[in-house]
Each structure stands twice: as structure tokens, then as C-alpha cells.
Amino acid sequence: MCGIVGYIGKNNAVPILLDGLRSLEYRGYDSAGVYVQGVGCIKSVGVIDNLEAKIPNEYNGVAGIGHTRWATHGEPSEHNAHPQSDESGRVFVVHNGIIENYREISQLLTEEGHTFSSETDTEVIAHLVEKFLNDGKNFKDAVVEMLKCIKGAYGIAVACKDKPDELIVARMGSPLVIGLSLDEYFIASDPSALLRHTRDIIYLNDGDIAVVGSAGHRVFTLKEENVDRKISRIDWDFETVKKDGYAHFMLKEIMEAPTVIENSMRGRLLVEQGSVKLGGIQDISEDLRSIKNVVIVGCGSAYYAGLVGRMMIEELAGIPTVVELGSEFRYKKSVIEPRTLVIAVSQSGETADTLEAVREAKRKGALTIGIVNTIGSTIARETNAGVYNHAGPEVSVASTKAFISQLVVFALLATFLGRQRDLSLMAGKQIVTEIANLPEKIMRILSSREDIKEIALRFSHYQNFFFIGRKYNYPIAMEGSLKLKEISYIHAEGCGAGELKHGSIALITPDFPTMAICLQDSVYEKMISNVQEINARKGPIVIMTSEDTDVSFLTSDVIRIPHVHEILSPILSVIPLQLFAYYCSVARGLDVDRPRNLAKSVTVE
Ligand code: F6R
């Protein structure tokens, strides 16, 4: 989604802003722009290269703001791109989020004589600041007055011609960080945009306003009360977000799966005790002992991870669990009992729908924990406790390694909750030992990727696909279909294999293939019957099965994965589906890492 960068210091802001914008490209955008104090504003539609091409050599200065825009209000165009400004070009603003009352404000300002030149909700911010400057307020006070007028979600950075040695930022519902270095400040909506310059970061909270510039920095609230935000040190490296020689981030991130699992379980397995240690929930461990039900919330892939997590928790811990889409949770009546645990699953930790579900759950008195990958993100900070995935930064828009780490964390959490209840030592030991063996099994799957590629090349021309599975692999069928849809633009549906005959099987023809997950588990025989139903209707089939299982009577397109405990099988079975989607996308010549219309971090509801 939209990205914000800013710089104020002693160096030329232009390369710093462009570099920061480039590192936010992966979030998805359709236009970009920069404003540099003293030299003005430049914007363009399309990629950052288009913007850079428009910047003349003499365009430089020591303070500025920049933005990548993912259109919400108004088409992608130069006049809708940010920075937005008032008519006189005195105030410039970049904004992530949505100003909900912008229509009312623009109507009032229009009556007062303002003329708007864009279709964006953002432009009212610049006009309001200018109005308060005209009323005689200084830059800071004008921004504070403007913030009192707007409603909605925002991360904003504002620059004013009258005050070239200051930038002002504010956050409400959309992430924003300040990077600090000697005599210079960096601003970004995502810390990865600052890593080249500094590792010392201040994470702003909702309601924070900050002034940065030659006089240092100050963080305060709308009531003008100073707040003390500590400086956090980022310990992950920029190198980890480079492609490492792979053609795409997505392939690199799939190939990282064994390391990701090792990182997710490092120091957490207690093999002899058949249990796990999760530092982030240690403080609430006694509360967890008495919870009566669990509600898992997430969106997209995180929701599918939640569906697997539900089965793990019910099977290992016997706690009734439901899974809700973040976007549905707060708009329906959700039953939150006094001892309900709400688990929010989110790679970015910034997904607005999931975040609002957490806030709603807290309002209703639930205990909340986060399964979050991005350290210091809003969901990580707002939940009562949490378990970090430790998957490292995920750059490709389609989630792969983060999804795998979510499943691993669910397996750890379910084992922990189970051992607090009826799960036996032996059963606990078996799960923990199997978790420890996952990286080696995944390496075996990854080493067969050329076989998966070959199948993908033969199937990438189809326009439709079913993915079917049962029990633990039903959510994986849905995740496999989501992966294929989002990066290869092939229409795909994930179905419970037993459901096909209740309607969807009508679609099966020789032009409508199916990917069937038929592992040697408790539902193998049932799966094979369902595949036979497809076979009888001449639908092409790819079968994913366990090593040593003969399915040649059904198809010659077979993907094999190692045997594993049924509960953990999704952690293996999703990998060939990620690779399959990847190779289909490459075969179709698409932009794998930045699929159309999608954003990495979805910070609007
Ligand atoms: C799919 C994908 C999305 C995200 C969803 C939630 O590949 O990446 O479906 O899973 O937008 O995002 P997070 O996990 O950041 O809350």
C-alpha cells in the first residue's frame, strides 16, 4: 500500500527519498512523488524510475518528503499523487490511510474560497494547515489544529515553506517511524526504508505527533502533552531483504523455509518435557490455563493459517475454537466470554481489519495474543502478549515464508496449550520431535522443485483450477488457490474435497484441472474417492501425495512430499503449492513479486 518517506538533515534529501521509496516498492503502488524544500514538488504515474527521470540535476535540498501511492480516492494520476498541497504551494503533505470526513471539510473550505485540484481525501490536510497558518498560527500549531478537524486513519508527514528546518509527522491507525542519526532524521511508514541510514528507530503510537528538525525532535499528543517514546535498535539486516541471487523475492522466500522454521522454533522446543517454551506468553501463562474458548482472527493467508491453527488447538488442547475474518469480526456479533482468548494472526502486524478486530476484542474484555512477524508493529504492541514468527522481512507481496512460520507457531502454541491440559507427555514429545525434523523434510521438497516447475509449465495455460483437500489440508487447498490467483491471475477455487459433489463438480471438464492433496493420512481413502469422481469426468488432475504412495492409476502428474504427522502436514504440503503458483506466474511472464492491484500491507479497512 502507500508508503511514506521523509528526510531532514545536512545531506541532499533527493537520493535518500528516492532510495527510501524504492525500498517501499514491494508494498504495491501506482504513482509516486517528492517535495524538497526550496526546489518544489515532482510527481509521476507508474514506477519510481519514471519519477527519477523527471528530476533535474539542480533539484536538491536538505529536507523533503516522498510518497508511493496506491489509489483509493481518485485514479492513479499526477494530480492525485502525493505530495498534495494547498493552492499557494505553501504546505505539502504525504498521507497513508483515509480521511473519512474529507467531503465535509472540502465543502466547508470551498465555501471559504479554497479550490481543490485533486480527487484525493488527502488534499484537505494541506488546505486546513494553510488555513490555520493564515489565521496566524505557527506551523506546529496549524498542524495540531488540522489534526483536530480530521477523522479517519492516517500516517502523515507535512512540510511547510515557512519552516524549512522542520518536518511534522502524525500517526493515527497507519504506521510511521522516525529514524535517528547524527544531526539528521528519517521518516518512513516502514523501518525497512531507513535501514541503509540508521538502525535507531522511534515507533510512533496512535495519537502521536512529532516535530523533527534542526532543533531536535519532540513527540507529543493533541493535548500538547509530551510523550517519551524509546529508541529501538533494529537488529535485522538490509542484506536479508535482498534477492540473494534468486530471480524473485518470492522464490528466495520459499527457499528460506527451512531456516525460517529453525528460527521460529529456536529455543522454544522442550523435547524431554514434550512441550514448548514461548517467552512472549509466559506472563499470561496462568490466564491461558483457564481459557474456555479461542477466536482466531486474520485476513487472506493469515486467515487460512488460522483455519489450520484451529484444528491444531482443538486436537491437541481440546479448546473450542472458531476462526473469523478480520474484516467481519467487528461488524457482527462475536461471542466473547470472560475467558475467551483472541489470537490475531498477521505477517505485517499492520493489517487494519485484523488490528480493528483486536481492538474490538479488547473492548469486549478478551485476552488477546498476536502471532505476528513484524517486530514492533501495531498488532504486536496492542495485543496483551504474543509469539513472534521470526520469519524475517517478507518482501514479495504473496505471503510464503510468513505463512509457513504462522503454521509452525500455531503448532507450538497448540502443543503448549495442550500440555497445560490433557495432552500426554508421549504425544507432546512426538509432536515436538516431528517439529524439530521439519526443516530437513522441507529441504527434500525444495530439492525437487524442478519437477514441480515442469508440472507448472504444463498447467500454466489453463484459465481455471480447483484445489481440493480434506481436514488439515482443506485450508491448504484454499491457500494454494489464493497463491495461484494472486500471482498468476488464473481463476482458482479451494474446495473441501467432499464438497465438490455438492455443486462445484459441475464445472469439471477437460479444460478445468484440479490439484488434489492426497497424503497418507486419516482421510487418504476419502480423498482418492473424490479424485476418482473428477477422473470420471475427464478433469485433468495433479496429485500431491506422500513418498512411496502409488497414484499412477489416477494421473502421471504427481508431486511427492515426505511422511509427517498429520497435524504438521500443512507445513509441508503448502510448499509445493507455493512453488507451483510461482512457476505458473513466471511461465505467464507476470510480475511475480508485485502482482497487479495488490499491496503487501493492507492498512485500510
Ligand atoms: C496472500 C497475502 C495476504 C495476506 C493478508 C494479511 O499471499 O499475503 O492474503 O496474508 O493481506 O496480511 P497480514 O498477514 O500482514 O495481516
Each residue's pLDDT tens digit, 191-230: 888 988 999 999 999 999 999 999 999 999 999 999 999 9
Task: Please tell me the distance between residue 188's alpha carbon and the centre of ligand 1 in angstroms.
Answer: 21
Least confident residue range of 46-60, 301-315, 568-582? 46-60
The string of pLDDT tens digits covering residues 404-423 is 999 999 999 999 999 999 99
Strand partners, 80: none
Q: How confident is the model at residue 239 (pLDDT cuts 50, 70, 90)?
A: low
> What is 101-124 written as a DSSP string?
THHHHHHHHHHTT----SS-STHH
| Binding-site residues, ligand 1, Cβ < 6 A | 299-302, 346-348, 351, 354, 398-399, 482, 486, 601-602
pLDDT score of 240 = 62
Q: How confident is the model at residue 243 (pLDDT cuts 50, 70, 90)?
A: confident
553, 243 in Cβ contact below 8 A?
no
Average pLDDT, the chain: 94
Q: How confident is the model at residue 1 (pLDDT cuts 50, 70, 90)?
A: low
Helix axes of 123-134 and 102-111: crossing angle, nearest 10 degrees:
40
Q: How confident is the model at residue 237 (pLDDT cuts 50, 70, 90)?
A: low
pLDDT score of 541 = 98
Task: Please tell me the distance between residue 143's alpha carbon and the centre of ligand 1 in angstroms.
Answer: 33
Q: Are strands 232-233 and 200-203 parallel, antiparallel or unpaired?
A: antiparallel
The string of pLDDT tens digits covering residues 523-566 is 999 999 999 999 999 999 999 999 999 999 999 999 999 999 99
347, 333 in Cβ contact below 8 A?
no
Task: Please tell me the distance between residue 484's alpha carbon and the centre of ligand 1 in angstroms.
Answer: 14
* Superfamily, domain 243-442: Glucose-6-phosphate isomerase like protein; domain 1 (3.40.50.10490)
313 is written with which cell numbers?
A: 488447538
CATH number of 448-590: 3.40.50.10490
pLDDT score of 73 = 78
Task: Please tell me the distance between residue 391's alpha carbon and the centre of ligand 1 in angstroms.
Answer: 14
**The model's pTM:** 0.77
In ligand 1, which atom is closest to the CA atom of 374?
A: 15
The string of pLDDT tens digits covering residues 65-96 is 999 997 777 788 999 999 999 999 999 999 99
Task: Please tell me the distance between residue 146's alpha carbon and the centre of ligand 1 in angstroms.
Answer: 33
Q: How confident is the model at residue 28 (pLDDT cuts 50, 70, 90)?
A: low
168 vs 406: CA distance, rounded Å? 36
Q: How confident is the model at residue 393 (pLDDT cuts 50, 70, 90)?
A: confident
> What is 238-252 written as a DSSP string?
GGGGS-TT-SSHHHH
139 is written with which cell numbers?
A: 506551523
Question: Is residue 2 among the annotated active site residues?
Answer: yes
Q: How confident is the model at residue 605 (pLDDT cuts 50, 70, 90)?
A: confident
40 is written with which cell numbers?
A: 518544489
Domain 3-240: top CATH class: alpha beta
Radius of gyration over every alpha carbon of the chain, rounded to an integer in angstroms: 25
What residues does each domain of the chain span?
A: 3-240, 243-442, 448-590
400, 578 in Cβ contact below 8 A?
yes
In ligand 1, which atom is closest to the CA atom of 406?
A: 14
Choose which residue among 253, 299, 580 to substitute to test ligand 1 binding: the one with the highest number of ligand atoms within 8 A of its C-beta.
299
- Asked whether residue 235 carries a pLDDT value surpassing 80, the answer given is no
Nearest residue to 60 (alpha-carbon basis) of 23, 86, 35: 35
The catalytic residue among 2, 41, 495, 584 is 2
The string of pLDDT tens digits covering residues 172-191 is 988 899 999 999 999 999 88
Task: Tell me the residue type at 449.
Answer: R
The catalytic residue among 43, 441, 485, 600 is 600
Choose which residue among 1, 327, 399 to substitute to test ligand 1 binding: the one with the highest number of ligand atoms within 8 A of its C-beta.
399
> What is 303-339 written as a DSSP string?
HHHHHHHHHHHHHHH---EEEEEHHHHTTS-----TT
Residue nearest to atom 5 of ligand 1 (CA): 300
Domain 3-240 identical in fold to domain 448-590: no
Kindly state the percentage of the chain with pLDDT values over 90. Answer: 85
Q: Give 592's DSSP letter.
A: S
Phi and psi based region of residue 591 (left: phi greater than 0; alpha: psi -120 to 50; beta: remaining): beta
The string of pLDDT tens digits covering residues 259-311 is 999 989 988 999 999 999 999 999 999 999 999 999 999 999 999 999 999 99
In ligand 1, which atom is closest to the CA atom of 351?
A: 16
In ligand 1, which atom is closest to the CA atom of 403?
A: 10
Q: How many C-beta neighbours within 10 Å does residue 116 have?
A: 17
Residue nearest to atom 9 of ligand 1 (CA): 300
Q: How confident is the model at residue 46 (pLDDT cuts 50, 70, 90)?
A: confident
Task: Please tell me the distance between residue 352's alpha carbon and the centre of ligand 1 in angstroms.
Answer: 11
Identify the three-state secondary structure at position 536: helix
571, 407 in Cβ contact below 8 A?
yes
What b/e string do you get for 132-161 counting C-beta neighbours within 10 Å, with b at 16 or more? bbeeebebbebbbbbbebbebbbbbbbbbb
pLDDT score of 98 = 85
Identify the three-state secondary structure at position 581: helix
Helix (H) or strand (E) segment spanning residue 465: strand 464-469
In ligand 1, which atom is closest to the CA atom of 347?
A: 14
pLDDT score of 27 = 66
Residue nearest to atom 3 of ligand 1 (CA): 300
CA dihedral (134, 138, 143, 146) positive or negative: negative
Residue nearest to atom 10 of ligand 1 (CA): 301
Task: Please tell me the distance between residue 600's alpha carbon and the centre of ligand 1 in angstroms.
Answer: 7
Question: Is residue 600 among the annotated active site residues?
Answer: yes
Q: How confident is the model at residue 120 (pLDDT cuts 50, 70, 90)?
A: very high
Nearest residue to 33 (alpha-carbon basis) of 3, 11, 62, 9: 3
In the block, cell 535501514 appears at 195
pLDDT score of 603 = 74
pLDDT score of 331 = 86
pLDDT score of 527 = 97
What b/e string do you get for 305-322 counting C-beta neighbours within 10 Å, with b at 16 or more? bbbbbbbbbeebbebebe
Q: What is the mean pLDDT of residues 500-529?
A: 96
Residue nearest to atom 16 of ligand 1 (CA): 346
Identify the three-state secondary structure at position 275: strand
Q: How many C-beta neighbours within 10 Å does residue 491 have?
A: 13
pLDDT score of 374 = 86
